[in-house]
Structure 1
Amino acid sequence: MTPHEAKDAVLLLCRERGFESVRVAAAGPTAHGAFFREWLKRGYHGSMDWLERAPEFREDIRVRYPWVRSFVMLALDYAPLLPEDLPEDSVLPRVARYARAQDYHEVYKPRLLDLERAMKRLTPGTQALWYQDTGPFLERELAARAGLGWQGKHTLLIDPQSGSWKLLALVATSLELEPDEPASDHCGTCTACLDACPTRAFPEPFVLDARRCISYLTIEHDGPIAPEFREAMGGWLFGCDICQEVCPWNRKAAPAFAQAPEGLETLTLHKVLALKPEHLERRIEGTALERAGTSRLVRNAAIVAGNLRDTALVPALEKAARHAEPWVREAVYWALMRMGSFEAYAAISRAQRHEWDDDLRETIIAYLQRGTGHLQ
């Protein structure tokens, strides 16, 4: 087969499996290798240490797989709208849009694996490997090279036809496929995403400091969240969509409603704080929230509660004050202090009786001194 014929055959296989937004990029070294290494050097990846492993693979996958000649790049839309008839106190509006349904990895895995196998059958000896988030690739750079869109100033891929509410996947193959034209940048002078970021996670256009990003802080970061970011987190429990919400290109996104699992749709801040870990695990099973795990979710819920200053959450926070992780308990005490009510300070006072961590006991004492007037 010629590269053109091979591409037509692969596109047909993609369409048969429900993949409509498909483009092709030729294998080759990235133009962003030096940028990526500098990004790592500055520590902008935070604790995501896996990004440091074998950067040469991300710069050119042929260092690891010499047989790769082409990338089949896939863009997968996700629903930007909340489900209809959502319970009023559901946490779903506090969850990034991509995570409001069943975990996309599990949704797309069977179809991607089937596509990989079908491509291997096109010609004798054809090799192919599918990846989604887990491989040593600079996926957004490859997607832009393939013409699926361009990387916006918020570093996410923007499709000029439908915006940025998209997931990416790829199949690396030994087939020589006719490549598509790269996409050009259409952000122009717009800085809406940069200006809207409440934690100032973009030190410059097209550069993300993950250590300041709400998505990183709520999903990937273990341990305490620095006080300077807590108020800026607002109501986000898992992830953040602010830089995409303000992007004018997302006005073109097709209206679609998320299909949330019942356990997630009916989950509330009170339940996140008060449920036993094993019960919370069951509520988030099969969703992207499993990535954060229960301890980070409880920490995040405490910070959201502190920002809301909703005293109705005091009883749930008091239950969370018994959490095994000291950095979770510290977030709970911070939230109670932020509320500033008699009930909140009384809960902090009661927590002092069972707090075994010396540093946290000092924190409690300092908070109680601030609230002496409330307890008199």
Structure 2
Amino acid sequence: MQASADLKSIIRNKAIEIGFDACGFAEAQKLEKESYRLEEWLEQGRHASMNWMSNHFEKRTDPTLLVPGSRTVISVLSSYYHPDQKELIGNKKDLLIAKYAQGRDYHKVVKKNLRNLFQFIDELTGGLQGRYFVDSAPVLDKAWAVRSGLGWIGKNSNLLNKNTGSYFFIGEIICDLKLDPDQPVSDHCGSCTRCIDSCPTNAIYEPYRVDASKCISYHTIEHKGALDPEYENAMENWIFGCDICQDVCPWNSKSITANFPDLHPRKEILDMSKEDWFLLGKKQFDKIFEGSPVKRTGYQGLKRNIKNTKF
């Protein structure tokens, strides 16, 4: 078999050829520090009603339990940014959907391409044992991206990359291939607190920590039923997700256009006016959001969010 450095170079180059924006490698092992922080976060109830976050805790923090025999975690980044997306900062005339949800469901798009990379490695090595994931299993994807040298965790708890900002999806291949790990990069947030200062619900309760129960994204996507009265008028003009803490981040001035066309924003979404959203019917919803992440909240959930917008 080829040397580790050569294999890494070949795999990384193939990942870029497929359309991923970055690829890194980490040793598959228990995440000790991250395990402690996750347990503390869960015990404080910061996950709100997302009880699935506490499921399979051991597997979530140890990939060798999730994928027996694993030795390496390969992480990839895939941008979802596109210059045609509406300007969101200070936009008070439109109802807004987070950038990541303006195209096709990333689970399908990124996973298909990650499968291509897995198959390539399988053929390259003569047999690869492992699994690939895109936000589809108990995997701490940001932690693995950090360990793979693909960025650092910013004060808004998102992964930041000096070359691409934070508008990207993360995918992993957890496998039995032994490869030398890449080196993590240092934190480049410095003294900047723009994300913290800009959050209208104070969800970033301290640097690097987010309380989901206060987050606009949680309330407009994961929360079921009527909105908590405390947050009814706090959604501003967001109807699915929120990009505020990312939009104000200086590193996102370096965002790059998504390579996968299916992740580009749909014209039907970009063309919607505030008035169009309030008139949205079920058939139109199904047509516009076929195969979209917005299906997660459903028609009634989206209508609830539209009704509770501030602007």
Same fold per TM (> 0.5)? yes
Tell me the CA shift for residue 233 of structure 1: 1.2
Tell me the CA shift for residue 9 of structure 1: 2.9
Name the % identity: 36
Q: What do residues 63-88 of structure 1 show as CA deviations (whole Å, max 9, x unaligned)?
A: 2322111111111112253358xxxx
Partner of 1:298: 303
Partner of 1:183: 185
- Structure-1 separation of matches of 2:112 and 2:127: 22
Q: Which letter maps to 1:192?
A: R
Kept in 1, the 8 Å contact 2:80–2:264? The answer is no
Tell me the CA shift for residue 261 of structure 1: 2.4
Partner of 1:22: 23
Q: What do residues 67-115 of structure 1 show as CA deviations (whole Å, max 9, x unaligned)?
A: 111111111112253358xxxx9x9760111112222223223211111
Greater displacement, 39-48 / 258-267: 258-267
Tell me the CA shift for residue 164 of structure 1: 1.2
Partner of 2:7: 6
Partner of 2:49: 47
Q: Which has the higher contact order (CA 8 A, sep 6+)?
A: 2
Partner of 1:277: 282
- Structure-2 separation of matches of 1:126 and 1:296: 42
- Structure-2 separation of matches of 1:53 and 1:83: 35
Q: Which letter maps to 2:237?
A: G
Find the residue that maps to 1:122 and give its secondary structure. helix
Partner of 1:208: 210
- Structure-1 separation of matches of 2:251 and 2:41: 27
Partner of 1:314: none
Q: Which letter maps to 1:294?
A: Y
Kept in 1, the 8 Å contact 2:131–2:174? The answer is yes
Tell me the CA shift for residue 200 of structure 1: 0.6
Partner of 2:221: 219
Q: Which letter maps to 2:165?
A: G
Kept in 1, the 8 Å contact 2:19–2:78? The answer is no
- Structure-2 separation of matches of 1:232 and 1:102: 28
- Structure-2 separation of matches of 1:274 and 1:175: 53
Q: Which letter maps to 1:248?
A: P
- Structure-1 separation of matches of 2:264 and 2:188: 32
Q: Which letter maps to 1:190?
A: C
Q: Which letter maps to 1:18?
A: G
Q: Which runs of 5+ in 2 are unaligned?
A: none
Q: Which letter maps to 1:228?
A: E
Tell me the CA shift for residue 178 of structure 1: 1.7
**1:107-118 correspondence to structure 2 within 5 Å:** 107-118=109-120
Q: What do residues 96-145 of structure 1 show as CA deviations (whole Å, max 9, x unaligned)?
A: 11112222223223211111122222223421311111121111111011
- Structure-1 separation of matches of 2:20 and 2:254: 20
Tell me the CA shift for residue 273 of structure 1: 4.0
Q: Which letter maps to 2:14?
A: L
Kept in 1, the 8 Å contact 2:289–2:295? The answer is yes
- Structure-2 separation of matches of 1:22 and 1:246: 26
Kept in 1, the 8 Å contact 2:25–2:73? The answer is yes
- Structure-2 separation of matches of 1:202 and 1:55: 24
- Structure-2 separation of matches of 1:259 and 1:32: 33
Kept in 2, the 8 Å contact 1:82–1:93? The answer is no
Find the residue that maps to 2:220 and give its secondary structure. helix
Q: Which letter maps to 1:199?
A: T
Kept in 1, the 8 Å contact 2:67–2:175? The answer is no
- With over 3 angstroms needed to count, the CA separation of the structure-2 counterparts of 1:255 and 1:142, relative to structure 1, is closer
- With over 3 angstroms needed to count, the CA separation of the structure-2 counterparts of 1:93 and 1:299, relative to structure 1, is closer
Find the residue that maps to 1:299 and give its secondary structure. helix
Kept in 2, the 8 Å contact 1:80–1:165? The answer is no
RMSD after superposition: 2.4
For residue 149 of structure 2, the aligned residue among 147, 152, 161 is 147
Q: What do residues 253-305 of structure 1 show as CA deviations (whole Å, max 9, x unaligned)?
A: 2478984324323444444444443442222112221121111100000011x
- With over 3 angstroms needed to count, the CA separation of the structure-2 counterparts of 1:188 and 1:83, relative to structure 1, is closer
Q: Which runs of 5+ in 1 are unaligned?
A: 309-376
- Structure-2 separation of matches of 1:275 and 1:78: 25
- 1:173 and 2:178 matched: no
Rg (Cα) greater in structure: 1
Kept in 2, the 8 Å contact 1:155–1:206? The answer is yes
- 1:288 and 2:290 matched: no
Greater displacement, 11-20 / 242-251: 11-20
Normalised TM-score (structure 1): 0.75
Q: How many residues align?
A: 302
